């Protein structure tokens, strides 16, 4: 048996309706559209509800908008940096991606959750003030990187 041999089960399909092909066909003359008027002569506009206020205009709309210029950051906390990097090493966005701390292609922002117990040179696109303070208090440096 091949794919082109398959047929629907007996009685599963019915012949299509040939509307508007004369009275003998069973759906002739007005073809199920009633008599006269816009609906008998045209296909109505999508969503038109016969003059009733359409659903799309009845329901409440959400306020506000989505800012198309919003910058989405790959966020990393100082506690994750202290776990992933050894003392004295450099933590730049490429190294953070390699260690699975952030996703590739997003600018990196360092936040201050947790504690950092080692001196690291951290390079990122942005720092929170508290994160910068914690890194420098541990004897490290926080350096900004240009966004590409």
Q: What is the pLDDT of residues 84-105, one digit of tens each?
A: 999 888 999 999 999 999 999 9
Does the pTM of the predicted model rise above 0.75? no
The token duo for 119 is 């001196």
**85 burial type by CB count under 10 A (0-12 exposed, 13-18 middle, 19+ buried):** buried
The token duo for 120 is 């690291």
The model's pLDDT over 34-43, given as tens digits with 9 standing for 90+, comes to: 999 988 999 9
Q: Is the CATH number of domain 74-144 3.100.10.10?
A: yes
How many CB atoms within 10 Å of residue 55?
Answer: 9
Confidence label for 142 from pLDDT (cuts 50, 70 and 90) = very high
The model's pLDDT over 103-141, given as tens digits with 9 standing for 90+, comes to: 999 999 999 999 999 999 999 999 999 999 999 999 999
CA 70 to chain CA centroid, nearest Å: 14
Q: Domain residue spans in the chain?
A: 74-144
* pLDDT reported for residue 147: 83
């Amino acid at each position: 048996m091949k794919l082109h041999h398959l047929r629907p089960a007996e009685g599963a399909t019915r012949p299509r309706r040939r509307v508007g092909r004369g009275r003998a066909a069973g759906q002739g003359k007005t073809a199920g559209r009633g008599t006269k008027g816009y609906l008998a002569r045209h296909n109505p506009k999508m969503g038109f509800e016969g003059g009733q206020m359409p659903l799309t205009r009845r329901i409440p709309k959400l306020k506000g908008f989505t800012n198309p210029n919003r910058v989405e950051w790959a966020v990393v906390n100082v506690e994750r940096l202290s776990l992933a990097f050894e003392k004295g090493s450099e933590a730049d966005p490429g190294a953070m991606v390699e260690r699975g701390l952030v996703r590739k292609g997003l600018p990196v922002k360092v936040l201050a959750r947790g504690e950092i117990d080692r001196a690291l040179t951290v390079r990122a696109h942005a720092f929170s003030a508290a994160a910068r303070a914690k890194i420098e208090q541990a004897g490290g440096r926080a350096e900004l990187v240009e966004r590409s």
